[in-house]
Amino acid sequence: MANATTLMNPRDVLLNVTVDNQQQLFELVANHIFQHHGVPFQYTLNALLRREQLSSTAIGNGVAIPHARVAELDRVYIVYVRLAETIPYLTPDGVPVRDVLALLVPNPAVDEHLAILSHIAKAFSQPKFCRELDECTQQKDVAALFCESEIGYAL
């Protein structure tokens, strides 16, 4: 598996972002991946939209983990977004989303994809992790927290 510090880079942590809806959120992630990693905008956007049409990627408690396999990728990409204001999202508990961790994996990375997804969900289910995440105000601190948490063990 890949190294945690490679996958959770501070430049892929976006704090206090303003979007109005899920479409704008996915466009933001796709644009970020394009600008910083060179993956074409449409590849990422289409993959996230297709996956979300299957079922919501929200896990509750204000958290969503949009994830998709993108055939054109050469490695895993993770982007964390903390929204300035919550947005509507189809959630199991009815709580709007504020914390988003987008996970994009190459099409053949099925086992890695599932392992990372599982560890992300476990991290977000821990109140201590969520509290510490809320307290992080710097990109580097958010990236370090993810690398030290459950997600770090998967990477």
- The pLDDT tens digits of the residues spanning 3-61 come to 444 568 899 999 999 999 999 999 999 999 999 999 999 999 999 999 999 999 999 99
CB count within 10 Å of CB 105 equals 22
Q: Where are the alpha helices (DSSP H) in the chain?
A: 4-7, 22-37, 41-54, 110-124, 127-135, 139-148, 150-154
pLDDT digits (tens, 9 = 90+) for 100-129: 999 998 887 667 778 888 888 888 999 999
Confidence at residue 155, expressed as pLDDT on a 0 to 100 scale: 44
**Residues near 8 by Cβ (< 8 Å), separated by ≥ 6?**
78, 80, 143, 146, 147, 151, 152, 155
Q: Would you place residue 69 in the very low, low, confident or very high pLDDT band (cuts 50, 70, 90)?
A: confident
